[in-house]
Structure 1
Amino acid sequence: MTDLTHISNSFVKLGSFFQEYYEYSKNNTEINSNQQSWFQKFDEAITLSGHKNGWFTKENILYSLKSWAEQLTAENLEEWLSTYEIEKNQPKTVAIVMAGNIPLVGFHDFLSTLITGNRILIKLSSNDSVLLPCVAQYLIEIEPTFKDKIDFTDGKLDAFDAVIATGSNNTSRYFEHYFSKKPNLIRKSRNSVAVLTNNETKEQLTALGEDIFRYYGLGCRSISKIFVPRDYNFDQLYEAIYSYKDILDQAKFSNNYDYNKAVYLMSEYKILDNGFLMLKEDTNYASPIATLFYEYYDSLEELKNKLTANSDRLQCIVADGVLKDEVKFGHTQKPSLKDYADNIDTVEFLIKT
């Protein structure tokens, strides 16, 4: 049996702490005495995380914490879990092989596993090995029973009942073989796209910049490609996203921009360029950093059919009045608790396994 209310309350407290820490970090607010030591620990964790992974800037880490603070409320958790029979879950040990492309990318699996009453065995990505252990330490302090339910390992995964593994299309084949004898949820590479119709407002296109540039385009929910009508004027897009030009101040992004531009020029590819984002016509979905692929369409109906046929390769589709399950401009990096990676219900998998 799972004490759902007790566990949920712990995550609500965690969400409140994320909010307090965000406000302290952004606004230099006075430190609450009973949180002072934890604010310092999170400061140190964010600094160390940035040293280990240059893509993990303080701004993006704080954005992630703020996003989770907004989701970890009693109302949101209750609504999310209301359709599941979690009380019937038989506690098990779930191994999680986490990705490391964006800060705390594995937190939803962490939350889903613990809130359903299971134990969790975590193998972290070397790209994101600092933040979640710090979060887990805080969670254990406010709810000591989690100490026996959370374990991190650097070695071979052993003694588990089910597994959730996230990786590339190549590593997924290894995962499927290695974990074939256990109930498993294996995730592969996915990308996100936007459908433009020439009817978008400047505000919507500016918001699209958030979907393109947040986390430097490294997330599966980051827009890597746009579909546009044949008469599309790209100047309106470039004008709307010009406010993101300072992204070039980030050394790793700038280096990728320079490198990919050189490759395109030497290969004599036709590209559009505004000094910090290149547009390249390409049928692929996954674009390099600082590059946004585009593809023309002649009919929205034909495009809808194509996107439906390729649904197993897509995570989000940004549009306005085009598709049933479209995401609003500027909202790809603000998923709700019900927005599951690869559109596979993690909680249902955990309960039924």
Structure 2
Amino acid sequence: MKDIFLDDDAPDEALGRTFVDTEQTRAVFRRLDALMEVRRTTNHAWGVALLGPARCGKTSIFREYLTRCNEGNVQDRMENGATDAVRRPIRHLYLELEPQTRLMNIASQTLEAMGDPDPTFGDKGQQGNRVIENLESGLYDLVIFDEVHNLVDTDTLRVEQKAAQWLSRLLDVRACPIALIGYERFADILERNEFLEGRLLPMPRIVPHRWDDPGDMEEFAAVLSVLDSELSMPTLSGLGEVSLARQICYAVGGRFGLLEKLLTHARQLARERRHSCLTRPILRQAVEDCRAGWKSLRFNPIGMDNFEEEARKTPSGEAERSSSRGRGRRK
């Protein structure tokens, strides 16, 4: 079973340990606060679905929220020095659904995450009943299903409906809220069936930052400045400088997961070459090394004089969206 806090074992200087609030993360935290509060004020269990492209930091957002609840940290909710929000430690069950997950094995995966000694024992109905018994025991305040897009198949809508029906059955137990994390293609289930309709509280989609949006770039540059200070390099690299921030944003498609990978690799290159900071040539080489796995990146933008002119030929993210449309619906 994978732990949502697995990164706690990462090295102290791992950039994944650094979390910077953004407008999107604060909005998600507010909705999660509402989700946890509504269970205390009604006899209904509700759910939320956090959807967005790969490597946008969706799981990291949940990890940070759980951490803040454990610490009672409501700093992101402070307005004029006061807030009515109260955060308590959350007893959570985290389950990352495996590729090719089907209705017949989602119950056994859930039982395994619950610590069941024989999660595959019994048919899927009996397994589902054991899941519900565990939920009714009051062990959990929140159940998190990650990678829910692995439930989406190219088969008939009936298969998708059954998966949604199983999830809605857990909500019917009214034991605790459920959170779903996945790619945007899971929206097919949410939008086309009656089982989850009306059972999910509204949740903003996570979207990548755009290099050509002034508001996005102000925020992205601020994140880069924080990460710059966390690189543990002898001198700052000036990553938050506007023109460089735009180029980095374009390179990673505005996705913080890819940004972490890029800066980590660039730091390693700088140390190997005994540089005191991440120079433009170092960053350009890092992008060149990483871009083989980034099919949406048409060119290396770092240090280009005509970057904006070239970038506007293909709007930010358009290549990624086109690539996604051309792929199958499975991860």
- Of structures 1 and 2, the one with the larger relative CO (CA 8 A, separation 6+) is 2
**Is TM more than 0.5 here?**
no
**Relative to total residues, which structure has the larger strand share, 1 or 2?**
1
Normalized against structure 1, the TM-score is what?
0.27
